[in-house]
Structure 1
Amino acid sequence: MKMKLVFLYLISSLIWLYVSNYILVHFIPSSLEHYVERGKEIFYILVTGGIFYFFILKKEELDTTKEEEKRLSTLINSMVDFVNFKDGDGRWIQSNNFGLKLFQLEDVDYRGKKDSELAQYSEFYAEALNYCEISDQETWEKGTFTRFEEVVPLPDGTSKIFDTIKVPLFHEDGSREGLVIIGRDVTTLRQTEERLNRTEKLSVVGELSASIAHEIRNPLTSLKGFVQLLQMEDNKHPDYYQIMLDELDRINHIVGELLLLAKPQHLKYTKSVIQKLLKDVISLLAAEAALYNVQIESNFPKEDIILECEPNQLKQLFINLIKNSIEASKKDSKIWISLELTEKETIILTVKDKGSGISTERLQKIGEPFYSSKEKGTGLGLTVSYKIVQSHKGNIVFDSELGIGTTVNITLPLVQDSSLVKNHLKEKA
């Protein structure tokens, strides 16, 4: 563009000189020739000076615009939110680095392209980008800003939740001018809300449990004693008595879980070999696994892993998880239990089955009190499991697909005191 302007200026100057000299020689009297020649020179200076002044002003405006654009770019790139500006046709004008990185478009010349065109450069996010055009169209048709939450999957298998706002801009004649999109990452906020909600439910369950558990157990003991006495004296209906005893045991088990949730747990941590705890639980559940015709395969490190924990609670945790896998597994199937020691001084326990799996809807509610997919389940087993993991400063994650199976990953620190962990890491370094 600059070369074209220079070339145009040179051609115009040559034409001006040639034409003015021709007129000066053929049409201007010799007596006025001197004045006309000076006037021609002054006119040329004024015109060229005006042109240069015009370009100087334009350059200053351009520099100011570039400076403002640079400031705007710096501002939006410093934001931890996804910011995107589009024109009236849905073409990308400006996006911050966060948004480009999110959709894997860092090395793409995105300006002037629609979402569907950019989808060709990002295979993983092609579907999400194509959906953006549909969402944009709904915003345009609505004529006012829209706000919604959307889940964006990540390549590592996790996902982020964005609180997205889309604001349409219109010209005075009502035609589309542009679209402003801001997406705030609220993943941590939603996870915190979910934990608070679960904690609140546990608190309610605890209060309820504390008030009724002991009241239930007292008459329960009397009922069980009388049923056992009748069973000894009456040989005509042994099956009925056994059913009543089994149901009373089930009630007693439920009350025990309620008490575990109700009373404050003053844990006394001891150092235990995690492999031994797991082997004890597997041996305990071997008969039940055989009853369901399910095999349990384990893969543990040969070297003993010492874990600071409350052994009985961890056994309860392992029993709940492995028992659930056994009951969910199909006949002639396997359950895999593996243990791994990480460099971060934590262990990762994985329990995997190829059972019935859990639907996405149920997976979101898993661990909530009194929510169970089992016909006679109370939902307290996994609630207790969550509480045990939480009390050991660990993390539990369920990954399941309906009809495919379920994988449970539990992460637990080797040492409960964080300062001891840091010292231990320094000693190893």
Structure 2
Amino acid sequence: MQKKKLIIIYFFTSLIWIYGSNYLVAHFVPDSYMEILARIKEIFYLMVTGAFIYFFMNKANELNESKEDQQRLSTLINSMVDFVNFKDGQGRWIEANDFGLQLFQLENVDYRGKKDSELAEHTDFYADALRNCEISDEETWKNKKITRVEEALPLPNGSTKFFDTIKVPLFNPDGSRQGLVVIGRDITEKRDMVKKLEEREERLRRTEKLSVVGELSASVAHEIRNPLTSLKGFVQLLKVEDERHQFYYQIMLDELDRINHIVGELLLLAKPQAVKFTKADVKKLLKDVISLLSSEASYHNVQIESRFANDHMTIECEPNQLKQLFINIIKNAIEASGNGGMVTISFKQMEPETISIVIEDNGCGISEKRLAKIGEPFYSSKEKGTGLGLTVSFKIVQSHHGTIHFESKENQGTSVHIVLPIQQASYVQSHQDSKKQPSLS
């Protein structure tokens, strides 16, 4: 459209020059100078016309080079797997790559010249995210330095992507805003990998502690139990013969029983890791444990509510160990609930090959500091606790190729999530096969 307009202007300007100059020469110039002036007029017209043509040719070349540079820049940023965005000094979008447009659902939007708040009107899901970007841009310009921050961006499918976002403010020589460069790198996979490595290190650390405790248990537990039996026998004998100090003898017997219980937990930790799996009904195991602990729950004025499905769930496990696991967790929940508390137990199958058991209480909860050390040997929040009960529980879950996870807030209660395979052999084999698959990255 611009070229057509220039051609029309050039055409009419030329006509006006030719006929206008001829008219002036014919009426106001003597005949003796007419021929010379006509030649001068033609030469002048050629020079002016040539100058304009040369000017427009240079402008056309510059425009073509600019378009080529813009095309190369567009190709470059669109080939990047990061979100790239250029903005002017007012925060208006100048250029963005395809990744960024798809990320914010702006593929079919004429985004150039618009601010984030204006673009927010074109995408309901990311409206708040775009408005927050505009606020963050203002802070970057205000600080007058490069900013780098990790941002979480929710996705329509319910998941979340994490970006390492760098914002570079650009200024004119007089200090006024020139523009802003925004680069956001997707670090979701890297973040997940770091989290998995941290979890693996934590498991190794716990395994090492269990190994140390196991070695210690194997070497001293039997040696402790032998003199313990003698001490208990003599105290019982003295209790029968000496009626004056019955109170003290009972305290001694209770403490000896507690030592014997600790030795029993140490011996359990010292047992070999090999487990003989058999098929057992989880619902029945949980009901047996609830019946066993019902008297203790009544003593603490705590109600146990079971939310079991009608169907029975059979899994491969070591039933006695699972009972010990459930006893440890439910007993802790009862003691944490206090007077008038509630302990809720439920389970469900998780597709396709695991079962989830959840034990919740509305008790005192666990602080973040203590929650990080749950399961460590000899760490307990109880006054006379050893922490070995949960250590044993972690070991049982580990030997069953499962996972155990605690969620808790102080004064709001605790929930324990236990995930166990339904069939041990197929579950272990499938996870080994998945580890052998080549990584897509």
Q: TM-score range by the shorter chain?
A: 0.7 to 0.9
Q: 1:237 aligns with which of 245, 253, 260?
A: 245
Q: 2-side partners of 1:209 and 1:351: how far apart?
A: 28
**Equivalence for 1:344:** 352
1:327-383 C-alpha deviation (Å, 9 max, x unpaired): 121422322211212331221212122222233343344333443333333333333
AA aligned to 1:9 is: L
Q: CA deviation at 1:304?
A: 2.3
Aligned partners of 2:131, 2:337: CA distance in 1, in Å?
Answer: 34
Alignment check: 8 A CA contact 1:116 1:129 kept: no
Distance, in Å, in 1 between the alignment partners of 2:46 and 2:13 is: 11
Aligned to 1:250: 258
Give the TM-score, by structure 1 length: 0.76
1:283 to 2:295 alignment: no
Deviation (angstroms), 1:222: 1.9
Q: Hey, what's the Cα distance between the residues in 2 that align with 1:381 and 1:39?
A: 105
Match of 1:414 in 2: 422
Is 1:310 the equivalent of 2:318? yes
Q: What's the offset of the Cα at 1:47?
A: 3.1
- Local SS of the residue matching 2:220: helix
- Closer, same or farther: CA 170–40 of 1 in aligned 2, 3 Å: closer
Distance verdict in 2 for CA 1:395–1:94, change over 3 Å: farther
After TM superposition, the structure 1 stretch with the greater mean CA deviation from structure 2, 360-369 or 345-354, is 360-369
* 1:415 Cα offset (Å): 0.9
* Structure-2 residue corresponding to 1:392: 400
Q: CA RMSD of the aligned region, Å? A: 4.3
Q: What's the offset of the Cα at 1:23?
A: 4.0
- 1:316 Cα deviation from its structure 2 partner: 2.0
Q: Residues 210 and 269 of structure 2 are in contact (CA less than 8 Å); yes or no, is this contact kept in structure 1?
A: yes
| 3-state SS of paired residue (1:76) | coil
Partners of 2:374 and 2:283 lie apart in 1 by 27
CA gap of 1:87–1:407, structure 2 versus 1, over 3 A, is farther
Which residue of the partner structure matches residue 215 of structure 1? 220
Report the Cα distance in structure 2 between the residues aligned to 1:74 and 1:265, rounded to whole angstroms: 52
Partner amino acid, structure 2, of 1:21: I
Using the alignment, how far apart are the partners of 1:335 and 1:279 within structure 2?
14
Unaligned runs of 5+ in 1: 423-429
Residue 366 of structure 1 aligns to a residue in which SS? coil
Q: What is the rounded CA distance, in whole Å, between the counterparts of 1:34 and 1:310 in structure 2?
A: 114
Note the 1:24-423 alignment, pairs <5 A: 24-28=21-25, 31=35, 33=38, 36-37=41-42, 40=45, 44=49, 47-48=52-53, 50-52=55-57, 54-77=59-82, 94=96, 97=99, 101=103, 105-107=104-106, 113=115, 122=126, 132=136, 136=140, 140=143, 164=164, 166=166, 168=168, 178=180, 180=183, 182=185, 184-185=187-188, 186-212=191-217, 214-233=219-238, 234-418=242-426
- Report if aligned partners of 2:147, 2:167 keep a CA contact under 8 Å in 1: yes
TM-score (norm 2): 0.74
Residue aligned with 1:410, SS:
strand
Amino acid at match of 2:10: S
Cα distance in structure 2, aligned partners of 1:88 and 1:211: 68
Hey, what's the Cα distance between the residues in 1 that align with 2:64 and 2:158? 50
CA deviations 1:161-202 (Å, max 9, x no partner) are: 77x474756669596764555463323313322331342243
Distance 1:254 1:181, change over 3 A: farther
**CA distance in 2 between partners of 1:90 and 1:420 (Å):** 54
Give the superposition deviation at 1:414: 0.9
The amino acid across from 2:335 in the alignment is E
Quote the Cα distance in structure 1 between the aligned partners of 2:247 and 2:420.
44
Count of residues in correspondence between the two structures? 408
Code of the residue aligned with 1:24 in structure 2: it is: S
Larger Rg computed on CA atoms:
2
Change in Cα spacing, 1:66 to 1:134, as seen in structure 2 (3 Å) is closer
Alpha-carbon spacing, 1:65–1:301, altered in 2? closer, same or farther (3 Å): same
Q: 1:426 is matched with which residue? A: none
**More moved, 273-282 vs 117-126:** 117-126
Distance 2:336 2:316 in 1: 31
Identity of matched residues, %: 38
- SS of 2:385's equivalent in the other structure is coil
For 1:17, the aligned partner's letter is S
- Offset of 1:212 from its aligned partner? 4.9
User: In structure 2, what residue type is equivalent to 1:106?
Assistant: Q
In structure 1, what is the Cα distance between the partners aligned to 2:150 and 2:59? 50
Distance in 2 between residues matched to 1:128 and 1:169, nearest whole Å: 17
Is contact 2:217-2:269 (8 Å) kept?
Answer: no
Matched, 1:20 2:17: yes
The range that moved more, 314-323 or 224-233, is 224-233
Following the alignment from structure 1 to structure 2, what is the Cα–Cα distance between the partners of residues 95 and 249? 71
Please state how far the C-alpha of 1:321 moved relative to its aligned partner. 1.8
**Residues 373, 76 of structure 1: alpha-carbon distance in 2 compared, 3 angstrom cutoff:** same
Q: Report the Cα distance in structure 2 between the residues aligned to 1:129 and 1:361, rounded to whole angstroms.
A: 34
Deviation at 1:46, TM superposition (A): 6.4
Where does the alignment leave 5 or more consecutive residues of structure 2 unmatched? 27-33, 431-441
Q: How much has 1:33 moved relative to structure 2?
A: 3.9
Moved more, 175-184 or 359-368: 175-184
* 1:96 CA drift (Å): 7.3
Worse-superposed segment, 394-403 or 343-352: 394-403
- CA-CA distance at 1:203 after TM superposition: 0.8
